[in-house]
Amino acid sequence: MEKSPGEIIWQEQPYVHILSSQMRQELCDYCFARVEKLKTCSSCHVLRYCHRKCQQLDWNVHKLECKCLKNVSPEIPTDSIRLLLRLLIRHKNGDHEKLFSDDPLWRRSFQDLMSHSVDIKQDEERSKQFHYILNVLPTLIGQCFPLPSTEILWETFGKMVINSCSIQDEEHKDILGTAIYLGASRMDHSCDPNAVFTFSKTKMTVRAIDHVTAAAPQQLFISYIDTRKPSWERIKELQHRYYFHCRCSMCTTKCEEVDRMMSSIKCPNSECNSFIGLRRDEKNNSIWPCIKCQKVPPTSEEIENLHKIWDESYSHRLKVDELYKQGDMKSTLQFAENKLCYLRKRHFYKCNVNYIEIMDFAKDACIQLEFWEKAADYMEKVSNEIFEIFPTINISVGLSFLKLGKLQLYLDRTQKASNSLKVAEKILRVTHGPNHSVYRLLIDLQQQCRMFLENSS
Ligand SMILES: [Zn+2]
Ligand SMILES: [Zn+2]
Ligand SMILES: [Zn+2]
Ligand SMILES: [Zn+2]
């Protein structure tokens, strides 16, 4: 059956899921509802539920998990160990062989998932993580059930790291938990997807964002990563996290326009206000001529030099990321602004990915520091640049315009807020649908906007 943009294609609850440790005591461990008083499991004192019903529904897995948690109490295992433990309990119960869903197109068992265990065994970081888990498991499982063989553990671990996804809150501010969805895992990746998924608590909804000929997973492509990057960064990330080389249309035939913009450097012709593009893919150190005047830097030395400046700016971007992760917002902002000023003066064109990313960190630091005016200025620039490069239906773009509109409204930049919310509405109507709480929040903000504008005229 054909589907149009915005139509729901598929909905499901996870095969396994855990609430992230940061959300503990805030949300129900089973349904992720936020309630005032959560009821703590009287046996392990770790999991909390909004209602007896949730506790009963979770008991199938928690019954054994509860005993395991008591083995290591008062310590609580990390999120990934908890997710793996839940998978092992389902394995012990024989659930890994069961086909979930009645729909033959989407039916799948945990056993059917790809594990990439060969790649994972060769991946230093993930191997290390696995061996750490291997050390912890015997104490955690204790006498609760027989410890599965190392082969089963590798398989389960591999399927977990490849197929699990983060459940984000509505505005993509926090990660609420981690889960595995069996039906959705049948959909392959594309950097130019024709479907998107959203969450409403633990329920996943897949919607078409383009016309699709059949609502079957083989015809649908979602994006596994944030696609707002040049092709060489997307390809690298997909290889690193999912062990495949992306050959989607965006990474092969259609990549030039985005790559050219995101690697832009000011045109060397001082009378021209446009840009040249640095090719940063395998044809390293070559260049796209200016989009307007067709000029290129006259010597190969100059081209070389531009690539050097690129490498430098990339290392600044990593440094800002590091400062931000360390939580020092003042240093993050100071460093970012210093570099932005330098890059702007020297060579950089506004849609350059390193420039945008550094600006995005400056914006996040301003939000943390509650410098709202400045945060809005940066947010306006980042959102508009990104939208110019990716004018398609993209959840992250839609949500960034929603957040921008909200902040602009708060700062009395009402007309600007109205414009931002309009962009957000066009995107979120398709990605989230009119009944999703995010969309309702948006409509609410638009109404406030209209009211302010009417009162002021
Ligand atoms: Zn609940
Ligand atoms: Zn318990
Ligand atoms: Zn791709
Ligand atoms: Zn030019």
Buried b / exposed e across 403-434, counting CB within 10 Å, b at 16+? bbbbbbbeeebbebbbbbbebbbebbbbbbbe
Ligand 2 midpoint to CA 78 (Å): 16
Among the three residues 193, 222, 251, which one is the final residue of a domain in this structure?
A: 222
* Ligand approaching nearest to the C-alpha of 269: 4
Does residue 452 lie within any of the structural domains? yes
Among the three residues 164, 192, 222, which one is the final residue of a domain in this structure?
A: 222
Ligand 1 midpoint to CA 47 (Å): 11
Segments forming the whole domain that contains residue 193:
8-222
164 close to 177: Cβ distance less than 8 angstroms: no
Ligand 3 midpoint to CA 242 (Å): 12
Does residue 453 lie within any of the structural domains? yes
Whole-prediction pTM: 0.91
Does residue 203 lie within any of the structural domains? yes
Report pLDDT for 283: 59
351 close to 384: Cβ distance less than 8 angstroms: no
Amino acid 241 reads R
Phi, psi of 441 (to 5 degrees): -60, -40
The arithmetic mean of pLDDT across residues 278-299, rounded, is 79
Interval 172-198: pLDDT, tens:
888 999 999 999 999 999 999 999 999
Report pLDDT for 282: 61
Interval 192-217: pLDDT, tens:
999 999 999 999 999 999 999 988 89
Among the three residues 195, 222, 249, which one is the final residue of a domain in this structure?
A: 222
User: CA–CA distance from 331 to each of 271, 300, 340, 345 (Å)?
Assistant: 37, 37, 14, 21
Does residue 228 lie within any of the structural domains? no
CATH number of the CATH domain containing 430? 1.25.40.10
Does residue 169 lie within any of the structural domains? yes
Report pLDDT for 184: 94
Does residue 384 lie within any of the structural domains? no
* Ligand approaching nearest to the C-alpha of 271: 4
The arithmetic mean of pLDDT across residues 338-345, rounded, is 85
Buried b / exposed e across 292-326, counting CB within 10 Å, b at 16+? eeeebbeeeeebeebbebbeebeebbebbeebbee
Ligand 3 midpoint to CA 390 (Å): 14
Ligand 1 midpoint to CA 331 (Å): 41
Interval 91-130: pLDDT, tens:
999 999 999 888 888 999 999 999 898 999 999 999 999 9
**Is residue 345 predicted with pLDDT exceeding 80?**
no
Written as six digits, the tokens of 10 are 């598929």
Report pLDDT for 382: 94
Written as six digits, the tokens of 217 are 């997973």
Strands 188-189 and 221-222: parallel
- What percentage of residues in the chain have a pLDDT greater than 90? 77
Element (H, E) at 221: strand 221-222
Report pLDDT for 48: 97
Q: What angle do CA 210, 211, 217 make, to 5 degrees?
A: 85
* Rounded distance between C-alpha atoms, residue 281 and residue 323, angstroms: 28
Report pLDDT for 427: 97
Contacts of 302 (CB under 8 A, 6+ apart): 268
Taking all residues of the chain, what is their mean pLDDT, rounded to a whole number? 92
Interval 375-393: pLDDT, tens:
999 999 999 999 999 888 9
**Is residue 363 predicted with pLDDT exceeding 90?**
yes
* Ligand approaching nearest to the C-alpha of 273: 4
- Total tally of structural domains belonging to the chain: 2
Does residue 385 lie within any of the structural domains? no
Closest listed residue to residue 343, CA positions, set 269, 232, 266: 266
Q: Which of 52-66, 255-269, 424-438 has the lowest mean pLDDT?
A: 255-269
Does residue 180 lie within any of the structural domains? yes
